[in-house]
């Protein structure tokens, strides 16, 4: 039998909100978010950048998946870049060298949740 974590009113509001976005959300996730300073729905909305797991893109890590989607969403991979170049971009290295300064991850229920540090 596990001890139930008591949530504050603000944490309960956040928990209720993110259950629609992250179906496996639980009280432990709320406490982890709190450790990173995400205590309100507004902060979560500003910080949450997506979730990825190992099954989404096969052999690509969740960090590389996130990086590739971010680079694409920002328009850096427009039609001007030939596939013989874009197929060889090391998204894991971009994550490791550049994006870890602006984002952090929480590993929860076999999924990597990505959050901006600037919320």
Alpha-carbon gap, residue 43 to 29, rounded angstroms: 15
Is 102 among the domain residues? yes
Q: What's the pTM value of the predicted model, to 2 decimals? A: 0.85
Is 112 among the domain residues? yes
Q: Is the pLDDT of residue 56 over 70?
A: no
Alpha-carbon gap, residue 83 to 81, rounded angstroms: 6
User: Which residues on neighbouring strands pair with residue 50, listed in sequence order?
Assistant: 114
Higher pLDDT: 1 or 30? It is 30
Is 3 among the domain residues? no
Provide mean pLDDT across the span 19-41.
Answer: 92
Is 111 among the domain residues? yes
Q: Which domain holds residue 68?
A: 9-116
Number of domains in the chain: 1
Q: Is the pLDDT of residue 1 over 50?
A: no
Contacts (Cβ under 8 Å, ≥6 apart) of 17:
41, 44
């Amino acid at each position: 039998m596990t001890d139930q974590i008591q949530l504050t009113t603000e944490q309960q509001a956040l928990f209720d909100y993110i259950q629609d976005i992250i179906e496996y959300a639980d009280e432990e996730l709320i406490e982890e978010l709190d450790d990173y300073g995400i205590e309100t729905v507004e902060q979560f909305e500003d910080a949450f950048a997506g979730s990825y797991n190992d099954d989404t893109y096969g052999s690509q890590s969740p960090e590389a998946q996130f990086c590739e989607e971010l680079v694409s969403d920002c328009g850096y991979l427009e039609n001007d870049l030939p596939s013989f170049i874009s197929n060889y971009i090391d998204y894991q290295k971009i994550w490791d060298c550049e994006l870890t300064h602006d984002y952090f991850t929480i590993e929860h229920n076999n999924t990597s949740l990505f959050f901006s540090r600037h919320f």
